[in-house]
Amino acid sequence: MAIDMKGKNLVSINDLSREEVTQILETAEIIKLRHYSHEEQSILKGKVLGMIFQKPSLRTRVSFETGMIQLGGQAIYLSPDDIKLGQREATKDISRVLSRYVNGIMARTFSHGIMLELAKYSSVPVINGLSNLLHPCQVLGDLLTVKEKKDRLSNLKLAYIGDGNNVAHSLIFGAVKVGMDIVLAIPPGYEPKEEIVNLAKEDAKKINSRIEFIQDPKEAVDGADIIYTDVWTSMGFEKESELRKDVFKSYQINQDLVNRAKDDVIILHCLPAHRGEEITDEVIDGPHSVVIDQAENRLHAQKGVLALLL
């Protein structure tokens, strides 16, 4: 039986049940199939999504806006200068007022606290398009990509190499929801937040999923079905860029590292990529790379979210 998710927020994958994650991915698969069959889909006709941005964006803005249009709805882009969250007006007032105008709110913020406050005071669904703590919609697109390429999600090994950032946090949550093992190779001092890991471990126990942390990238990718990386310096940490280049230099995804994984390994990167830093041209443009399919699947996974929540 389908789960009724209307009106639910998507702030964190950890807030979703395993069944809800599965339903989002299955809905996305159906919507994507219909899209490529050139079927008109108007399930969000008359619906409006308000999109709040504190950070610049390519994929998040275009994928959400396109997704609403393709499902028959509309989206309104609200730039940092339009809103000025917490500066010109209290966040809770913005949330309450927008709730009277639109059918859903998508936000891309720096502080995760702002995301939580938007969700607390909104009477319509709030979707986390990215915060400094989490990036759930990215990981739903990632899981959709893995499902397409591997025909399953459980009993796979995902090796994440790099910074313990918002993408890593949501990957940990996402992996254990679907029964995937995740091994993270991260330099000391850059590990994911302990509270995130502890929450994920509670889920992992229920389905015998494994979360492991090691420092050696070569060991991490041995037998891996999936290798995932992200930029070493996330938005907001630009002052640390030169330091991080030095700390992370042995964590680059290059062909030698890829050769240690399974023959049919797939390479994921959430983009934008700093080519020549966390990943080489040879790998990101190579036969194992699925990063463009992955970027496309942000669109379809988010359409699944929008269809179910709005």
Give me 171's structure tokens.
């990957």
Residue pair 259/265 in contact by the 8 Å Cβ criterion:
no
Active site residue 270: yes
Q: Of the residues 108, 269, 288, 300, which is catalytic?
A: 108
Give me 234's structure tokens.
């996330």
Q: Could you tell me which residues come within 8 angstroms of residue 300 by beta carbon, excluding any fewer than 6 positions away?
A: 28, 29, 31, 32, 35, 67, 141, 144
Active site residue 298: yes
Q: Of the residues 163, 203, 225, 230, which is catalytic?
A: 230
Between CA 255 and CA 158 the distance in angstroms is 17
Active site residue 230: yes
Q: Of the residues 288, 298, 300, 302, which is catalytic?
A: 298
The CA-atom distances, in angstroms, between 29 and each of 26, 70, 72, 153, 303 are: 5, 15, 18, 14, 10
Residue of 203, 246, 244, 260 lying closest to 16 (CA atoms): 203
Q: Of the residues 135, 169, 269, 288, which is catalytic?
A: 135
Q: Of the residues 54, 138, 252, 302, which is catalytic?
A: 138
Classified as helix, coil or strand, 157 is strand
The DSSP symbol for 193 reads: P
The CA-atom distances, in angstroms, between 219 and each of 159, 214, 215, 233, 269 are: 10, 8, 8, 23, 20
Classified as helix, coil or strand, 264 is coil
Active site residue 203: no
Active site residue 108: yes
Q: Of the residues 59, 137, 163, 270, which is catalytic?
A: 270
Catalytic residues: 108, 135, 138, 230, 270, 298
